Amino acid sequence: MNLANALVFAVLGWVLEMLPKAFPSWFPHTGSDLANSRALWLGLMGGVQMALGLGFVLRAYGVPALLRLVALVPAGESTPLSLPGARGVTLR
């Protein structure tokens, strides 16, 4: 998969999510809870498509960019953490 494919996946997922909202007459309420299985299925598949597309973009471009940013931060001195003077513990 490349960037264009990933973006098309995300856009297709958004379209799937928006179809029941844009054209409610295509998805009449058939269930007892006034839901429509086609609209629910499109919502689920739209979310999956968007997650696949955006997940690829994040993995392919977001993580390397974050690693490059972290590499720009200068490393600090590697001295041990200075703790206050230790106090003796007495048992009763």
The full 3-state SS of 5-52, as one line of letters, equals HHHHHHHHHHHHHHHHHHCHHHCCCCCCCCCCHHHHHHHHHHHHHHHH
Q: What are the φ and ψ backbone dihedral angles of 8, each rounded to 5 degrees?
A: -65, -40
Per the model's pLDDT, the better-predicted residue between 77 and 5 turns out to be: 5
Q: How many CB atoms lie within 10 A of CB 56?
A: 18
The H or E element that residue 55 is part of is helix 37-57
pLDDT tens track for 25-84: 988 888 787 888 899 999 999 999 999 999 999 999 999 999 999 888 777 666 676 777
What are the extents of the domains in the chain? 3-72
Task: Give this prediction's pTM.
Answer: 0.69
> How many Å apart are CA 21 and CA 26, to the nearest integer?
10
